[in-house]
Amino acid sequence: MPIRGHSLHHAKKSASHSSSCSTSLLFISLLCLASLFLVYSLFKSSVSPHNHQNLQFKRSDSSGTPILVEPCDYSDGMWIYDPSVRSAPYDHTCKEIFKGWNCIASNKSNGLDIIKWHWKPKGCDLPRFDPVRFLERFRNTNVEACFTPISCRWSADANGGTLESLGYKEGFRVDVDIPDGTWAEAPSFHDILIFNTGHWWWAPSKFDPVKSPMLFFENGLPLIPALPPHVGLDLVLKHMISFVERRMRTGGIKFFRTQSPRHFEGGDWDQGGFCQHLQPLLPEQVEELFSLENNGTNVETRLVNQHLYKALQGSDFHILEITRMSEFRADAHPSTAGGKKHDDCMHWCLPGTTDTWNDLFITHLNNIKFQN
């Protein structure tokens, strides 16, 4: 997602996020128009740390006018097993899927069952993605997914400097206020943008606070004293959100996707952690893994989301809340079938849970289109 590849922000087009949309205004009576503006304002207020509701619309048979059905909290629901779902034979000939994530080709024991679980929100439905209808409806629309890994290694200068004088020898430079060149122009070009921020904000195995810390820079200068990761994250989000809102093309739609959860049990990825479930977790198992009170291996997911919700308050970003539904899916990672020396409990099997993210994304787009 956001802010500088020289630092924290890389952008990358994702094959799973593609193609099209245009926003149309519905010319109806003044009364109906006023009602739609009211509905829109209610929807915008849903961007808050505790409310993931999205207004559902359906088209009236008589007039074709969008009619509000009821608010729907898509994050509150359960996974329902549907044995009738059939998967295409994604074997080794499917080059579009990275082999480490192709759980059908790698013969993961539940590889064919993963997509048979369908997310059912309470009190409403989440339609499955119809690619043909999507391409027709959002024709001539540019869509891009942007993400923010930390990518710039910093090493001490032999001639010395501010950080060197404080004893730092190496680390990871994060320019909080400089968007990476790979996505900096995206807001002015694309109609729909989907942002997310990566893992590892609280990961000593990746960014040891002593041996390889994150070193945050602003206006080209190191921030002294060195900031802890959570403070640096707040700065990154602040600058990124402001930059995108200033540069976004008129009528553009902006999403921020919440954290994708990891499911390591018994330790982190480099400590023998594993994820060998064959079915979605029970609610109590989810809380055991992700509760902030337990402060376990996977707690970063909810910690980052707290900062994300706070940063997005008052913005016109739409939240794509995929965390809650995904927390149940410890069964949907490559695990031992990922071809690594350790269990892969971070990436997702394809096809799998991320297809439900697409269902949610398209549903949000359709609702937004009706509101406009």
Beta bridge partners of residue 265, listed in sequence order: 274
Q: Is residue 18 part of a domain?
A: no
Q: Is residue 190 part of a domain?
A: no
Angle at 168 between CA 162 and CA 171, to 5 degrees: 110
Helix, strand or coil, per DSSP, at residue 20: coil
Residue 266: φ, ψ to 5°: 80, 10
Q: Is residue 72 part of a domain?
A: yes
Q: Is residue 360 part of a domain?
A: yes
Counting as low any pLDDT under 70, the low residues of the chain are 1-70, 147-153, 204-206, 372
Q: Is residue 300 part of a domain?
A: yes
Query: Could you give the CA distance from residue 192 to residue 255 in angstroms, rounded to a whole number?
Result: 8
Domain total for the chain? 1
Q: Is residue 358 part of a domain?
A: yes
CB–CB of 188/247 below 8 Å?
A: yes
Closest among 11, 4, 23, 9 to 192, alpha carbons compared:
23
Residues 6+ apart with CB under 8 A from 194: 17, 143, 144, 145, 146, 255, 256, 257, 320, 361
Cα 136 to Cα 5, 17, 21, 24: the distances in Å are: 34, 15, 9, 14
Q: pLDDT value at position 56?
A: 44
Q: What is the DSSP string of 257-285?
A: E-PPPP--BSS-TTTT-B---SSPPPHHH
Q: pLDDT value at position 57?
A: 40
Q: Is residue 160 part of a domain?
A: no
Q: pLDDT value at position 42?
A: 34
Beta carbons within 10 angstroms of residue 93's beta carbon: 7
Residues spanned by the domain of 272: 30-139+258-371
Q: pLDDT value at position 209?
A: 72
Q: What is the pLDDT of residues 213-251, one digit of tens each?
A: 888 999 999 999 889 889 999 999 999 999 999 999 999
Token pair 């890994």 is at which residue? 149
Beta carbons within 10 angstroms of residue 135's beta carbon: 14
> Which pair of tokens denotes residue 225?
């004293």
Cα 268 to Cα 233, 236, 293, 343: the distances in Å are: 22, 26, 18, 10
Beta bridge partners of residue 117, listed in sequence order: 81
Q: What is the pLDDT of residues 160-219, one digit of tens each?
A: 788 888 888 888 888 999 988 878 889 999 999 999 987 778 776 667 777 778 889 999
Whole-structure pTM value: 0.78
Q: pLDDT value at position 90?
A: 77
Q: Is residue 269 part of a domain?
A: yes
